[in-house]
Amino acid sequence: MDPAEPALGRGRPRARRLGTRVAVLAALASLLLPAGCSSPEGFDGDKPRSLKEAIRIVPHDGARSVRTGGRFEVQVRTGHLERVEVERTGDAGRQRVIGRISPDGRVWRPAPGELAPGARYTVDVVARDDAGHRAVRHATFTTSVPPGAFVGVFHPEDRTTVGTGMIVSLEFSRPIADRAAVQRAISVTASPAVEVAPHWFGNRRLDFRPRKRWRSGTDITVRLRLRGIRGGPHTYGMQSKTVHYHVGRDQTATVDAARHTLTVRRNGRVLATYPVTAGNAENPTYNGTMVILERRSVTRMNGHTVGFGGAYDIKDVPHAMRLTRSGTFVHGNYWAGARVFGARNTSHGCVGLRDTRGGGRGTPAGRLFGQSIVGDIVQVRHSRGLGPVGTVAPDNGLGGWNMTWQQWKRGSALR
């Protein structure tokens, strides 16, 4: 491989496959999850890495069942904190957590108050040292719920405008034994009305979708009436919540991995076509229909989090939009030579577009990022590898559009 054109992204895990226990985008969201890219040539890794290692987040990344009365703060031992963004996803939907950086720039703490029970916290930190080097760090953790209680975590937040490919997905904080009882307590309706059907993936995740993608202008209402519902022996719900989504314009991005192009169609018309680099022969991009789960202007991608070891670690991947739980992204690429885009597939499974370090608005990646929202469909075709290239699994992100309507309806607990 040309060292000036390193492989990027994560689409097909080598040593593990996605199980049915999938966090919602929250889950699904994020929001929140393993990501990956290769280490670019010329990246000044020493100083940014030492600064990054100086960033400490308490609770640690990946912590589960954190006590609601526990400690929560962000610290940096050298340099100063430039920005700390924290979001909470739980019974009240997705909310920003207000906090303050100390006068010396070394510590961030939230406003007074305990951590919310049964919630998922996403933390994004940007710090700089005295020489101006920047480091970013991303972490997630979840808090405990009262013994025996469960909640359903959803994403995105209430009153969000979503794309026509959005699938309403709930992940429960505890395994559900009586899936029928829980399903009866949840409704997803649309205006104008269409049939919406549920599908269980295991005993912790319940998704809802219509036969075909939503029509633009549709209003979706999700009602969770779980308070007091028995999910099984000694397990009961503690949630009563109504969530509203509005479906925006109809947009689909189609990736032709053989032609190295990404074509954006909005309301049936071609909006733009961009040259891309997709997964290489050893790590081809999944074929099939995927949905944008989250959008981040900058994120870290580390091969250790998705089974590629130390193959790559990029601290500032720009314009990143997640497509799968296993780590497939569409994102900006500032380290590959211009001749790669539109000509060669060099990544570990992601779809890369030309970009600048820090993310340029006028670059192909920047323009696509600005044109896209959570819930937009991304279809990948003609991805090829050394062996068979499968279609993305229905529970890998919001891959349920790859199931027929009959297959989908068979996943209901109420037949």
pLDDT digits (tens, 9 = 90+) for 355-400: 998 888 899 999 999 999 999 999 999 999 998 899 999 999 999 9
**How many domains, the chain?**
2
How is 274-325 classified by DSSP, letter by letter?
Answer: EEEE-B-SSSPPPBEEEE--EEEEEEEEEGGGGT-GGG-EEEEEEEEEE--T
Q: What per-residue confidence (pLDDT) applies to 91?
A: 60
Do 230 and 267 fall into the same domain?
no
**367 and 311 in one domain?**
yes
**pLDDT for position 57:** 96
Active-site entry in 199, 260, 331, 348: 331
pLDDT of residue 50: 66
Q: Is residue 117 part of a domain?
A: no
More confident residue, 131 or 376: 376
What is the band of 26 on the pLDDT scale with cuts at 50, 70, 90? very low
Task: Look at residue 398 and give its three-state secondary structure.
Answer: coil
Residue 192 confidence (pLDDT) above 70? yes
Look at residue 166 and tell me if it is in a domain. Answer: yes
49 vs 63, higher pLDDT: 63
Mean model confidence pLDDT for the chain: 85
Contact 73, 362 (CB under 8 A): no
Degrees to nearest 5, angle at CA 112 with 111 and 113: 115
The reply to whether 241 and 169 lie within a common domain is: yes
Per-residue pLDDT, 213: 97
Predicted confidence band of residue 29 (pLDDT cuts 50, 70, 90):
very low
Last residue of a domain, one of 233, 249, 265: 249
192 in the same domain as 245: yes
Known catalytic residue: 331? yes
Model-wide pTM > 0.75: no
CATH number at 160 reads 2.60.40.3710
Give me the domain span that covers residue 204.
149-249
Rounded CA gap, 259 and 254, in Å? 11
Instruction: Choose between 286 and 91: higher pLDDT.
Output: 286
Residue 1 belongs to some domain of the structure: no
pLDDT attached to residue 96:
86
**Is the pLDDT assigned to residue 31 strictly greater than 60?**
no
In a domain, 312, yes or no: yes
The reply to whether 274 and 387 lie within a common domain is: yes
In this prediction, what percent of the chain has a pLDDT beyond 90? 65
Task: State whether 231 and 273 are in the same domain.
Answer: no
Q: Is residue 92 part of a domain?
A: no
Average pLDDT estimate for 166-175 = 95
CATH number for the domain spanning 377: value is: 2.40.440.10
Instruction: Please check whether residue 180 is in contact with residue 198, taking contact to mean a CB–CB distance below 8 angstroms.
Output: no
- Looking at the fold, whether 397 and 309 belong to one and the same domain comes out as yes
The mean-pLDDT minimum among 15-19, 122-126, 299-303 falls in: 15-19
**Last residue within a domain, chosen from 234, 249, 264:** 249
pLDDT of residue 30 exceeding 60: no
337 and 356 in a common domain? yes
Yes or no: say if 388 and 299 are a contact pair by the CB < 8 Å rule: no
Instruction: Quote the CA–CA distance of 188 and 220 in Å, as a whole number.
Output: 7
Q: What is the mean pLDDT of residues 282-294?
A: 96
Residues 156, 171 share a domain: yes
Whether residues 322 and 394 share a domain: the answer is yes
CA distance readout (Å), 310 to 38, 69, 274, 367, 396: 9, 36, 30, 31, 24
Dihedral angle of Cα 212, 216, 221, 222, to the nearest 10 degrees? 50
Of 211, 231, 249, the last residue of a domain is 249
Beta strands in 24-133 (DSSP E): 55-58, 73-76, 80-90, 93-96, 99-101, 107-110, 120-128
Within a domain: 346: yes
Could you tell me if residue 11 is inside a domain?
no
pLDDT above 80 (res 308): no
Cis peptide bond upstream of 192, omega within 30: yes
pLDDT above 60 for 303: no
Nearest CA to 158 out of 75, 211, 220, 226 is that of 220
Are both 268 and 295 inside the same structural domain? yes
Indicate whether 155 belongs to any domain.
yes
Instruction: Answer yes or no: do 256 and 383 share one domain.
Output: yes
Residue 350 falls in the annotated catalytic set: yes
